[in-house]
Structure 1
Amino acid sequence: MIDHIGIIVTDFPNSRAFYEKALAPIGYAMLMELGPEITGTVRVAGFGIVPKPDFWISEAKSGNSPGNPVHVALRVESRAQVIAFYEAALAAGGRDNGAPGIRAHYHPNYFGAFVLDPDGHNIEAVCHDPV
C-alpha cells in the first residue's frame, strides 16, 4: 500500500498552480504548504483529499534539476473524473501524453488518461471500474 509520493519540481509556483487546477476534478486540493523555515531547505506542497495529503511536490534545490521524470497514477472513482482531470490538466498547461480511453492491454476496464506536467512528469488518472 502506498501512503504518499513526492516529486521534485523546478518552478514551484507554476507547478503548484498546475496541480491545483489539474487535480481539482478528481477531488484533490492543496491541503498543506510548508516553507524552508519549516522544512529546512525548500518549499513543499501536499495535495490530497481531506484530511491527508498523499501527493507532494517539492521545490528543486537551487541549481538542481528534478532528475528523471517519474510516473504517478492516481486512482479515481469514475471515467468522467478521468476525462475531467485530463481536460483540466491541459487547460492548466499540461501536455497530452495519452487521451482518455480504454487500455485493454492492462485489463478490459482500464480507463486512463496521461498528461505531462511542467517538468515532464507523466501524471495519470485511472478508473478500473466498468463503465
Structure 2
Amino acid sequence: MFDHVVFGVSDYAAARDFFIAALAPLGVAVVSEGALGVELCRPGAVSSLCLRKGGERTPPLHLAFTAASRAEVDAFHRAALAAGGTNHGAPGLRPQYHAHYYAAFVIGPDGHNIEAVCHTPGA
C-alpha cells in the first residue's frame, strides 16, 4: 500500500539500533544508510521504513509489521525487548480484530507503538 514511511527520531543511534534488532526476526535489514539516516526493508520488497537524523521528533506512531508466522511474532517481541523496548502486549491472539490475528506490541525509544502481526491460522 505504501512505498515508504519516513519519520524523525530524537536519538538516531538508539532508534537505529532498536529497529535493526527488533525487525531482524521479520527479515528486515538495512538497505541504505547515509547523511540523512537509514532505510530498512525486506529483501526484494517495495515498501521501506526510513529513520531520519536531526529532524523533529515525530509524535508517537503505531507501526505494524507483517510476520510470516507466529514464531516470527514471538521472535520480534523477544528481540524488541532485548533491544530496549517496553512490553505493550505480549504475543497472543487478538480475536477482537479477527480469529487468527496473532500479534505482539512494544513501545520503542521514541514512544512509538511497534507491532508484529501474523494473520494466518496457527499450527
- Normalized against structure 1, the TM-score is what? 0.87
* 1:42-95 Cα shifts (integer Å, max 9, x gaps): x3111111245611111243xx4x142001100110000000000000000011
- 2:89 aligned with 1:98: yes
For structure 1, the 5+ residue unaligned runs are 36-42
Report how many residues are paired: 121
Out of 48, 54, 63, the residue aligned to residue 54 of structure 1 is 48
CA contact (8 A) 2:27 2:43 kept: no
What pairs up with 1:23-102 in 2 under 5 angstroms? 23-35=23-35, 43-51=36-44, 54-61=48-55, 64=56, 66-102=57-93
**1:14, distance to aligned residue in structure 2 (A):** 1.0
> Which secondary structure state, in structure 2, belongs to the residue aligned with residue 100 of structure 1?
strand
- Normalized against structure 2, the TM-score is what? 0.92
- Of residues 44-53 and 81-90 in structure 1, the stretch that sits farther from structure 2 once superposed is 44-53
| Higher CA-based Rg | 1
**Percent identity for Structure 1 against Structure 2:** 44
CA contact (8 A) 2:7 2:52 kept: yes
Distance 2:119 2:44 in 1: 24
> Which secondary structure state, in structure 2, belongs to the residue aligned with residue 6 of structure 1?
strand
User: CA 1:84–1:10 in 2, change beyond 3 Å: closer, same or farther?
Assistant: same
